[in-house]
Amino acid sequence: MAVTPTVANDDDSPFYKIMEEKGKVWEKIAGEVGAKISGSYNANILEFEMTQKVNSHQLSVYGKRELTTVNNRGIFSEVLKLELNAGDIDREKFLKVGGGGFLNIFFNLSGEYRHKAFVDGYKVKYNSASVLEKVIKTKIFEISQVNRLSVGAEGLRLEVREIPVDARHARTIRDFWQIIN
């Protein structure tokens, strides 16, 4: 399967080329590990999903980049989500990242984590310093703005605000699940 165009680029749109480029990078990333990928793009939207078996768990990567018009201006919104459904993660590896807003009051009240730290402007709660070090070494906070990052009883969840077009950054996100090994 592939990330395919829904229409031809008849008007030589630069937006179409950006969507195509991001789709092709993720096709390549999926091909490197034999993951399944499907999706489509045109000048206004790119959407894809990549799935792969990791040990006995299911890894899913979902990406969407969309151009919308607000007040006669084009605005892009992007999201890239990585999920590894794994219910057998050791509690020592649990980690949660949050911002600094009022809505994180519940984040601060949770008693699941033994340690707190601030990393690149993010509040991080964790149980094991070695897991925190692995996260920091991935440089995930430098690649894109992290909307969500948690390692818990349900598995690993990572959501970033931008779909990388650089293959090296895309590999970092694809292989992020390795922090729990």
Nearest C-alpha neighbor of 149 from the set 38, 43, 120: 120
What's the confidence (pLDDT) of residue 88?
A: 87
Mean pLDDT taken over the chain: 90
Each residue's pLDDT tens digit, 8-20: 988 899 999 999 9
CB atoms within 10 A of CB 128: 16
Per cent of the chain over pLDDT 70 is: 93
Show me where the domains of the chain are located.
3-180
Nearest-angstrom CA–CA distance, 61 and 81: 6
Alpha-carbon separation of residue 170 from 2, 51, 61, 110, 181 (angstroms): 17, 14, 11, 32, 19
Of 157, 146, 163, nearest to 47 by C-alpha is 163
Instruction: Label residue 1 by pLDDT band (50, 70, 90).
Output: confident
In the structure, what pLDDT confidence band is assigned to residue 110 with cuts at 50, 70 and 90?
A: low
* DSSP 8-state code for residue 6: S
Q: How far apart are the first and last CA of the chain?
A: 29
Q: What is the pLDDT of residues 125-164, one digit of tens each?
A: 999 999 999 999 999 998 889 999 999 988 999 999 999 9
179 phi/psi in degrees, rounded to 5: -65, -20
pTM, rounded to two decimals: 0.88
